[in-house]
Amino acid sequence: MSRRWRQAVVAATALVLASAGGGASTVAGIVVVRGADYPAFVEATDGLVAGLQELLPDSPVVLWRLGDVTPEGTAPRLEAIAQVVCTVGVRATEAVLRARPGVPVVVVLATPPDHPDSSAAPVTGVGSDVPAAVQLEALGRLLPRLRRVGLLYSSGTAHLVPDILRAARVAGVDVSAQAVRPTDDVVDAAVGMGDLDAFWMLPDPVVFSPRSRSDLFAYLRRNRVPVLAPTSRFLQGAGGADVAVAPDPHQVGRQAATLVVRSLQGGRPRVEAPRAVTLYAKRRRGLADVPGVRWVE
């Protein structure tokens, strides 16, 4: 936790406790619920608080842990001390939405439900999904001769494919997309695609079960086909993927702070995609050494 974040939390907590203990009206501020202490969540929280301090210097900010959110009693507590609730990560978002707080919710690095309860408070935020066009543009920077990309998907990720195909058409890239079933051999499916310049990995448990992922990655490495992964954690280890385009957590937090302001002004801003991203890559043959890449060993 950064020094600035600690100072904000201590100050805000003191204000809330003093108000509650004295029987006076409670302080209306902003509650931030973080689902875990993952580095990306910590960075996003720091960016959120920094943005809130700049945009809303007079609004206290209080940090809650995931365990502070319970099905019973959370909503009245939040409504007593918060004008807006911010959630960092999927687990925090799910827990807060289950509690049905009566104040607006701004999510960070998570995606709210497509069809929220119409009786619930407004929900907006900054998701964790990087648009397909942004990922493709980043991949093209590393592979200037990118022309053909392979893609395997199952029924669980079929909804992601149309955006990828649209982005590819605009970029002049041919995407060979093939559906697979749990009984299919994914390596055989990849072999049938022929020569590829890159392979697009979706977060698909059918395509990338532990065994099939190992076999598929081995085949792609033998053929010197770099793999674009959905997150940077898939780049870990010698047998991992090669490229990932992920949200910049600190900047995503600051972006979410602007949505907090708009929510307090009575607006109902839409969920936004991350505006700032980080390009991760392993140093390997065929990838261009371009500025702005965070190289992973």
Rg of the chain in Å (alpha carbons): 22
User: What residue ranges define each of the domains in the chain, with the CATH number in brackets?
Assistant: 3-128+248-276 (3.40.50.2300), 132-246+279-296 (3.40.50.2300)
Question: 25 exposed, middle or buried (CB, 10 Å; 0-12, 13-18, 19+)?
Answer: exposed
3-state helix, strand, coil in the chain (%, to 5): 40, 20, 40
pLDDT digits (tens, 9 = 90+) for 100-131: 888 999 999 998 776 555 456 789 999 999 99
Instruction: Write the pLDDT tens digit of every residue in 202-232.
Output: 999 999 888 788 899 999 999 999 999 988 8
| Cα distance between residue 297 and residue 278, in whole Å | 16
Q: What is residue 120's predicted lDDT score, i.e. its pLDDT?
A: 65
For residue 186, give the nearest of 154, 229, 231 by alpha carbon.
154
C-alpha closest to that of 8 among 25, 31, 26, 38: 31
Q: Taking a C-beta distance cutoff of 8 angstroms, is the pair 108, 87 a contact?
A: yes
- Residue numbers in the chain where pLDDT is lower than 50: 1-2, 4-26, 118
| pTM for the full predicted model | 0.78
